[in-house]
Amino acid sequence: LTAASGGGIVAYADSSRAEEASEPPPRKKKVVVLGTGWAGTSFLKNLDSSRYEVKVISPRNYFAFTPLLPSVTCGTVEARSIVEPIRRMFDKKRKDVAYYEAECFKIDPSKKAVHCRSAVGTNLDGNGDFMVDYDYLVVALGATVNTFNTPGVMEHCHFLKEVEDAQKIRKSVIDCFERASLPNLSEEEKRKILHFVIIGGGPTGVEFAAELHDFLVEDLVKLYPAIEEFVKITIIQSGEHILNTFDQRIAVFAESKFQRDGIELSTGFRVIKVSDDSITVKCKSSGVETLVPYGMAIWSAGIGTRPVITEFMNQVGQGKRRALATNEWLRVRECDSVYAIGDCSSISQRKIMEDISTVFKVADKDNSGTLTLKEINDILEDICIRYPQVELYMKSMHMLDISDLIKGGVGDANKESMVVDIEEFKKALCHVDSQVKTVPATAQVAAQQGYYLADCFNKMDHCVEHPEGPLRLTGSGEGHHNFRPFRYKHLGQFAPLGGEQAAAELPGDWVSMGHSTQWLWYSVYASKQVSWRTRVLVVSDWTRRFIFGRDSSR
Ligand code: FAD
Ligand code: MG
Ligand code: MG
Ligand code: MG
Ligand code: MG
């Protein structure tokens, strides 16, 4: 068996097949998966585990359906309903899948091993440390919160990343109401205690604000009528608008709905310090600082890099990055046999200008030193697979075919006889790389990457050795033997806005907002559940909430 060294995926050379027959079956390759979030579980569910010896390492023995975490903060959905035990996801007949409840604290690519620490505190090696070696490593560790080193945030703010966070928030909200109900409090103190501040106006912050608002007006004010008038929710957002990754129409709709609901939007403010009872904000335009008294604060202003990833990036010479750089086949750059998927990674798309001479040479089949329109058209599909920015650029410039790109000014009559030399070819493509897009840190991307990578692993046997993937352009083999690079397919995104209303942005520039969209949201999120068990639980939680309201006990 030989492993392709530079490749997206390691392949077995066909020539070695015959010899294998007489030898004992080869040892199954060891695949170690770090993390059981969106990316890790999507990989595991789609991997044909009969081909590999699989070991899964994660400090949490369950998968959490993060899009419903904001609903857990207010008891709309119970925490138990959105988690699925990881062991239930394994195929029962497969004995070659093992799960270890532990945290990986070091990746050692030179020894092809990961160092782990037991999360349950058993005494394995004096301190619960152990080592697991791999043939292939799949890093799916996700991201952590990012406080941008703002003083006091770690100590005083809540976060919304894990199931435990959501449970803590739920308890704290009720705590605030009970505290504000105690005797002998001044009005000012009540206002302070019942001031809920959300820092960060992205999808998570906005959804939490909406959920909290519903909880307050639908359930809590009935139970605490005496203090209703003191309740306030504020969103602090440093940008000009909330939901700035969404279509402008959705941002406007959300902002006006929140205005009607009495949710205050402080846009254009940056939080510079948090103390136990006040938040210091700075107006970005005037530079004036103000103190905002609060009872409870939630920080949802960005994601950061986990220390184990930072350390690994330093080892492989990616020190200055925020996420692990992979190639388009999701293999970590400059690191054999290690793949990274989900929030901990980002694909660094190869620029076409770096390969321009090779592309030209491959296209120039007759070695004439010039390309005809036919020669370019023959390779165009390969180019667009390998360098998606070419297609994006043409789309953004409203170009219909490649001749528009190659010779902007050529009239229709001249197209067929067009020829370009290398310099003209370079000039035509020199702006294309500006269209390289990064994929967002979302569950949708993580799940698609997990699925794609599992597919690659499942088909490894069928691949012929190739240096950098699928194409005539960059590989030696025939196109069909090789793998297409990962391509993200955006299926749209939702923003639940409370009061049984939601906004959605769907493929094809389709935007929908209001009550019917909320029903679409219910059906999509019910269908996306990982198992029938959680689906039934989630739907019955929604039903219970409709009939009886939320549970407001701690
Ligand atoms: P994660 O899902 O975070 O998984 C990381 C895994 O690694 C976890 O199992 C963790 O326990 C494990 N781990 C951590 N440290 C270690 C270690 N040292 N060793 C071993 N294992 C470790 N995305 C959407 O597309 N739509 C949404 O509606 C949406 N809503 C969201 C709402 C909230 C409140 C949040 C927090 C996120 C939301 N996201 C949403 C984003 C989405 O959850 C993430 O993009 C997604 O979880 C990324 O998947 P991942 O597998 O990379 O990381
Ligand atoms: Mg994961
Ligand atoms: Mg997850
Ligand atoms: Mg990513
Ligand atoms: Mg030629």
The CATH number given to whatever domain includes residue 171 is 3.50.50.100
Kindly tell me if the per-residue pLDDT of 473 is higher than 60. Answer: no
The CATH number given to whatever domain includes residue 393 is 1.10.238
Question: Atom 2 in ligand 1: which residue has the minimum CA distance?
Answer: 37
Kindly tell me if the per-residue pLDDT of 84 is higher than 60. Answer: yes
CB of 204 closer than 6 A to ligand 1? Answer: yes
| pLDDT one-digit tens code per residue, 89-124 | 876 666 778 999 999 999 999 999 999 998 666 555
Does residue 334 share a domain with residue 238? Answer: no
In a domain, 486, yes or no: no
Kindly tell me if the per-residue pLDDT of 451 is higher than 60. Answer: yes
Domains contained in the chain, number: 3
pLDDT confidence of residue 291: 97
pLDDT confidence of residue 21: 52
| pLDDT one-digit tens code per residue, 300-348 | 998 999 999 999 999 999 988 999 999 999 999 989 899 999 999 999 9
pLDDT category of residue 6 using cuts at 50, 70 and 90: very low
Which structure tokens are listed for 268? 């254009």
**C-alpha count within 13 angstroms, C-beta hemisphere, residue 384:** 13
In a domain, 384, yes or no: yes
Q: How is the beta sheet containing 501-506 ordered, strand by strand?
A: 493-498, 501-506, 510-514
304 CA to middle of ligand 4, Å? 12
Contact by Cβ (8 Å): 233, 519: no
CB of 107 closer than 6 A to ligand 1? Answer: no
Which structure tokens are listed for 21? 């027959």
Placement of tokens 């008038």 in the chain? 229
CB of 205 closer than 6 A to ligand 1? Answer: no
pLDDT confidence of residue 396: 86
CB of 161 closer than 6 A to ligand 1? Answer: yes
Does residue 284 share a domain with residue 375? Answer: no
CB of 530 closer than 6 A to ligand 1? Answer: no
Does residue 257 share a domain with residue 269? Answer: yes
pLDDT confidence of residue 530: 86
pLDDT confidence of residue 125: 55
Q: What is the rounded CA–CA span in Å between residue 61 and residue 102?
A: 9
The lowest-confidence range among 156-160, 423-427, 461-465, 487-491 is 461-465
Kindly tell me if the per-residue pLDDT of 477 is higher than 60. Answer: no
The lowest-confidence range among 63-67, 225-229, 458-462, 524-528 is 458-462
Question: Atom 14 in ligand 1: which residue has the minimum CA distance?
Answer: 141
| pLDDT one-digit tens code per residue, 160-206 | 999 999 999 999 999 999 999 999 999 999 999 999 999 999 999 99
In a domain, 213, yes or no: yes
Check residue 231 and report its DSSP letter.
-
Q: What is the rounded CA–CA span in Å between residue 505 and residue 524?
A: 13
Residue at 215: amino acid letter: F
Kindly tell me if the per-residue pLDDT of 404 is higher than 70. Answer: yes
| Domain finish residue from 449, 481, 513 | 481
Is the ipTM of this structure higher than 0.90? yes
Note down the domain range covering 365: 352-435
